[in-house]
Each structure stands twice: as C-alpha cells, then as structure tokens.
Amino acid sequence: NFTPNAFVEEIVAEMKEKIGNDKVVLGLSGGVDSTVAAVLLNKAIGDNLYCIFVNNGLLRKNEFQSVLDQYKDMGLNVKGVDASQRFYDALAGLDDPEAKRKAIGNAFIEVFDDEAHLLTDVKYLGQGTIYPDVIESVSATGGPSATIKSHHNVGGLPDFMKLKIVEPLRMLFKDEVRRVGATLGIDPELLGRHPFPGPGLAIRILGDITPEKVAILQEVDAIFINGLKEHGLYDKVWQAGAILLPVNSVGVMGDERTYEKVVALRAVESTDGMTADWVHLPYEFLMKTSNEIINKVKGVNRVVYDISSKPPATIEWE
C-alpha cells in the first residue's frame, strides 16, 4: 500500500541529502514523468534545479508555449528553447522511420548538450525514469530520457551524460507517479495526458517532414483531441492522435475537383502500450470530427478511422 505523502517526504529528504548545494539539469518533455520528477527535485533543491524544455517543432498545436507557461506557473526554474528549425534541418529529406528517430534523438542531444554547457558547475542530470523504464531500459511512453537512452551510443558520449544521475521516480509505477503528482498539486489535466512519443508528430507524418505538413497535422490533431475532450471521451481513451498519410485522394468541393491529403484518426485502449485495441468511438462523434477537419483544414479532403488492434498493427504508423 503505497502512500504518496510519505513517499514525497522521504524522497525529498533523500534528494536534499544527496544533492546538497549542487546543481541539477533536467529535460522536461511535457509528460507526466519528467514533470513530477522536476517538481520533487524543485521541492528538494529549489532553483538549483535547472529545467530545459525543448521545442522540437514536432509537438501538438500551441503545446510548447502553453506547457512552458504552465511550468513557470508551477514555480519551476525552466528555460524554453525553441530549436524547431534545427530539428527540421536534421529531418530534411528523411523518410525512413528509424532514420527520422535517429535524427531527432541526435538533434535533441545536441540541443540539450549546448544548453547544459551554458550552465556552470552542474553536477547531476535529473531524469523522470520510472520503474518499468529501469527494467526495459527504453520507455514505451518516451520523453527525453527515453530518447537519450536509445541513442546514447551514437557517436561519442555528450558531456551531460557524464553527469551523475538522479532519478526520484525510479521505484514507482505509472499510477503511483500520477498519485504523487496529485499530492504535489500538479494540474490533473497534465497528469491525465495521453502518452505522446518523443519523436512527436514526425512519426505521424508518413514520409518526409516539412513545416507545412506539421502545421496541417497540428490542426487536424487539435480538432480531434479537443473534440474528444468536449465529448467526455478523452479520459476513456489511452492514447489518440492523427496521422498524415502520404497519399492524395480525389474529392469535390463546390463545382471543383480537389486532389488533397488523407488523414487517419487513431484512438486506442491499452494499459501499457504493449497491446492495444482500437476504441469504438461513437459514429456521431466521428462524423462531426470528420466534417470539422475537412471543412477547416486546408489541404485535407478525406478522413479515415484506423480499426486495427495491436498486435499485429502497432499504435503508431511508423
């Protein structure tokens, strides 16, 4: 029987003792784990915790600014770094999913390393690693820590990886992390967010990435996700998102023939992402969502719904 209050008290004391007056740098992802880890460390060492939140240009619509504001409101010592162009440059012309992941992982490491170098006398790297990550070594739900781990053998070891690691959540399961987050007063909406992959929208745009495609997918995704929230469906779904397909289809708008992009919507139920079932979203909701997307998002004339379960289909399309 896990008690969040006792855990917070214990881990904060432990971190205080361990870190003393030293500095810690931590990458925030906008996800639950890195956020809860940051709040705990902030409680222990205050502004000696330096958080970095990177915009890779592949986040959901408006997410960088709104999450950054939220972090600041929480009293975290956080720096937002807009590195979108660096990621787009690294991705230019790549269409293979693994090549895209690698480019994003490397770009993230470069950006984070540059930022870490701007700080002096940092001794520790804080991470939101949770117990299942410790076992699996690569997290299913991602975030900077997962990206770092899966790519740390590319080239030489960046300097920040030579730092000592502090992982306040390494003994906790996901539901325990959420309960700790609630005890700490973190916004329930943030704690209840769907998992979002580290490579972000890059693995939901099949084929090569351009800022224009990202902008289209952000609009589609926002309509879908906001719709789920408005219809009370968001919390019944484990993960949801939209996928921009690399095909055009013929449509008709007024008297005009169109030849535009197809998007797929995906919503799954799961407990850990290892297996997943597609969610039987109400037809009414699908109809409204499809109409809204086609009417509002320029460049999209067809919406399809993914009715594949995992296995054999994966949750992401790439």
Shortest distance, position 198 Cβ to ligand XMP, whole Å = 3
| Three-state SS letters, 149-164 | HHHCCCCCCCHHHHCE
In the bound state with ligand XMP, the residue whose beta carbon lies nearer, of 24 and 104, is 104
- Is residue 143 marked as binding? no
- Is residue 33 marked as binding? yes
- Is residue 32 marked as binding? yes
Q: 298, 251 in Cβ contact below 8 A?
A: no
Rounded to the nearest 5 percent, the helix, strand and coil shares of the chain are 45, 20, 35
Shortest distance, position 310 Cβ to ligand XMP, whole Å = 5
Helix (H, G, I), strand (E, B) or coil at 285: helix
- Is residue 150 marked as binding? no
- Is residue 29 marked as binding? yes
Shortest distance, position 125 Cβ to ligand XMP, whole Å = 18
In the bound state with ligand XMP, the residue whose beta carbon lies nearer, of 15 and 202, is 202
In the bound state with ligand XMP, the residue whose beta carbon lies nearer, of 291 and 314, is 314
Judged by the rule CB under 6 A, the positions of this chain that interact with ligand XMP are 101, 140-142, 146, 195, 197-199, 239, 273, 310, 314-316
- Parallel, antiparallel, or unpaired: how do β-strands 122-126 and 78-82 relate? unpaired
In the bound state with ligand XMP, the residue whose beta carbon lies nearer, of 19 and 243, is 243
Shortest distance, position 146 Cβ to ligand XMP, whole Å = 5
In the sheet where 164-166 sits, what is the strand order?
78-82, 49-55, 23-28, 122-126, 164-166
The residue whose Cβ lies closest to ligand XMP is 142
Q: 226, 243 in Cβ contact below 8 A?
A: no
Q: 5, 150 in Cβ contact below 8 A?
A: no
Residue list for the binding site:
29-35
Residue list for the binding site for ATP:
29-35
